[in-house]
Amino acid sequence: MVSAPSGKKIYIRNIQTIIMKQKKGFVLREVCGENAIVGEGLDAIDFGRLLSLNETAAWLWKEAQSQVDFTVDSLTDKLCEEYDVAPDTARRDIENIVKEWQKIGVIED
């Protein structure tokens, strides 16, 4: 908890430890040779777009799906096991990907 300039107390959540999951109705598909998250079914009816993913982001989506409930830290650990990447670099990249997923509404906490 920190104080805003107005003196009001605000709570800051640490994205690394927030437990998240993929929203129902969003799946990884290959579209024209590219990995993409697309909406399927009534739960994703308002989505109306697809999100293109590079190979690593697609791997992370699959890993998040296998974990059901995941955190940035749990994905970081798995990514570092699978690829030769420094933990700090992996965590920063995963935080950016997760923030994008949150922004477009394909995951929830």
Q: Can you say whether residue 27 is alpha, beta or left, with left for phi > 0 and alpha for psi between -120 and 50 degrees?
A: beta
Coil vs helix vs strand at 108: strand
CA atoms within 13 A on the CB side of 47: 23
Q: How far is CA 5 from CA 8, 14, 30, in A?
A: 7, 21, 47
Query: Which range scores top for mean pLDDT: 10-14, 30-34, 89-93, 99-103?
Result: 89-93
Give the global pTM: 0.79
End-to-end CA distance of the chain: 19
Tokens representing 25 are 């109705």
pLDDT digits (tens, 9 = 90+) for 9-49: 554 456 667 888 998 888 899 988 999 888 877 655 565 66
Number of CB atoms found within 10 A of residue 27's CB = 16
pLDDT digits (tens, 9 = 90+) for 58-79: 999 999 999 989 999 999 999 9
